[in-house]
Structure 1
Amino acid sequence: MSDDPYAILGVKTDASPEAIRKTYRKLARKLHPDLNPGNTEAEEQFKNVSRAYDLLNDPEKRARFDRGEIDISGVERPRQRYYRDFAEPSADQAYTSDAGFADFDADDILSEIFGRRGRSTLKRRGADVRYQLSLDFLDAVNGATRLVTLPDGSTLDVRIPPGIRDGQTLRLRAKGEPGQGGAPPGDALIEIGVLPHPVFRREGDDIHFEQGVPLREAVLGGRIEVSAPAGPVTVTVPKWSTSGKVLRLKGKGVPRPDGTAGDAYVKLLIKLPDRPDPELERVVAAWPRRV
Structure 2
Amino acid sequence: MTSDPYAALGVTRSASDAEIKKAYRKIARSAHPDLNPDDKTAEARFKAASAAYDLLKDPETRARFDRGEIDASGAERAPRTYYRNYAEAPGNPYRGGQRAEDFPDVSDIFAEFLRQQGQTGSARSSQGFRAGGADMRYTMEVPFLDAVNGGSTRITLPDGSMLDVKIPAGTADGQTLRLRGKGAPGLGGGPAGDAYVTLTVRPHPLYRRDGNDILMSLPITIDEAVLGGKVEVPTPGGAVSVTIPTGASSGQTLRLRGRGVKSAGGGAGDLKLELRIVAPPKVDEALAEFLRDWRKTHAHDPRKGMRT
Report if the CA contact (8 A) 1:211-1:266 is conserved: yes
After superposition, the Cα gap between the structure-2 partners of 1:13 and 1:23, relative to the gap in structure 1 and judged at 3 Å, is: closer
**Deviation digits for residues 73-128 of structure 1, max 9, x if unmatched?**
x575xx875699xxxxxxxxxxxxxxxxxxxxxxxxxxxxxxx8376334322111
Paired letter, 2:169: P
- Give the number of the structure whose alpha-carbon radius of gyration is greater: 2
Cα contact 2:31–2:43 (8 A) shared by 1:
no
Shift, 1:51, TM fit: 3.1
Structure 2, unaligned stretches of length 5 or more? 12-19, 82-121, 302-308
- Of residues 244, 253, 259, the one that matches 1:237 is 244
More helix by share: 2
Paired AA for residue 242 in structure 2: V
TM-score for the superposition, normalised by structure 2? 0.63
Tell me how far apart the structure 2 counterparts of residues 55 and 149 of structure 1 sit (CA, whole Å). 17
2:31/2:45 contact within 8 Å kept:
yes
Give distance in 1, aligned partners of 2:159 and 2:180: 17
CA distance in 2, matches of 1:157, 1:51: 21
From 1, 11, 25, the equivalent of 2:29 is 25
Cα distance, 1:169 vs structure 2: 1.4
Q: Taking every aligned residue pair, what percent have the same amino acid on both sides?
A: 38
Question: Please, which moves more after superposition, 164-173 or 278-287?
Answer: 278-287
Deviation of the 1:273 alpha carbon: 0.7
Q: 1:142 to 1:75 in 2, by over 3 A?
A: farther
Matched, 1:273 2:277: no
Gaps of 5+ in 1: 6-11, 34-40, 85-115
Q: 1:32, 1:46 within 8 Å by CA — same for their partners in 2? A: no
How far 1:131 moved relative to its partner?
A: 1.0
Q: Is the 8 A contact 1:21 1:57 kept in 2?
A: no
Q: Distance in 2 between matches of 1:154 and 1:165?
A: 27
For 1:54, the aligned partner's letter is S
Name the CA distance, whole Å, in 1 between partners of 2:258 and 2:155: 32
Tell me how far 1:196 sits from its aligned partner. 3.4
> What CA deviation, in whole Å up to 9, does each residue of 1:244-287 have, x standing for no partner?
11111122111235654221010101111111232222222222
Q: Secondary structure at the match of 2:254?
A: strand
Are residues 214 and 53 of structure 1, via their aligned partners in 2, closer, same or farther at CA, if it must alter by over 3 Å?
Answer: farther
When normalised by structure 1's length, the TM-score is 0.66
Superposed, which structure 2 residues align to 1:140-155 within 5 Å? 140-155=147-162
1:191 aligns with 2:198: yes
Segment of structure 1 superposing worse, 16-25 or 154-163: 16-25
In structure 2, relative to structure 1, the CA distance for the partners of 1:4 and 1:276 (3 Å cut) is: farther
Look up the match of 2:104.
Answer: none
Structure 1 residues 23 and 50, CA, compared in 2 at 3 Å: closer, same or farther?
A: closer
CA shift for structure 1 position 52: 4.1
Q: Give the aligned partner of residue 55 of structure 1.
A: 51
**Partner of residue 134, structure 2:** 127
Change (3 A) 1:217 1:259: same
Q: Does the CA-based 8 Å contact 1:31-1:46 persist in structure 2?
A: no
Contact kept, 8 Å, 2:132 with 2:193, in 1: the verdict is yes
Question: Is the 2:134–2:184 Cα contact (8 Å) retained in structure 1?
Answer: yes
Give the letter aligned to residue 268 of structure 2: A
The question of whether the paired residues in 1 share the 8 Å contact of 2:54 and 2:198 is answered with no
In 1: Cα distance, 2:30 partner to 2:49 partner: 12
Mapped to 2, the partners of 1:138 and 1:169 lie a distance apart of 18
SS at match of 1:193: strand
**CA offset digits 1:20-76 (Å, max 9, x no partner):** 765653454x9449xxxxxxx669998766534423555738x97xx9945xxx575
- Give, in whole Å, the separation in 1 of the partners of 2:42 and 2:232: 28
What do you get for the CA RMSD once the two structures are aligned?
3.8
- In structure 1, what residue type is equivalent to 2:277? I
Partner of 1:136: 143
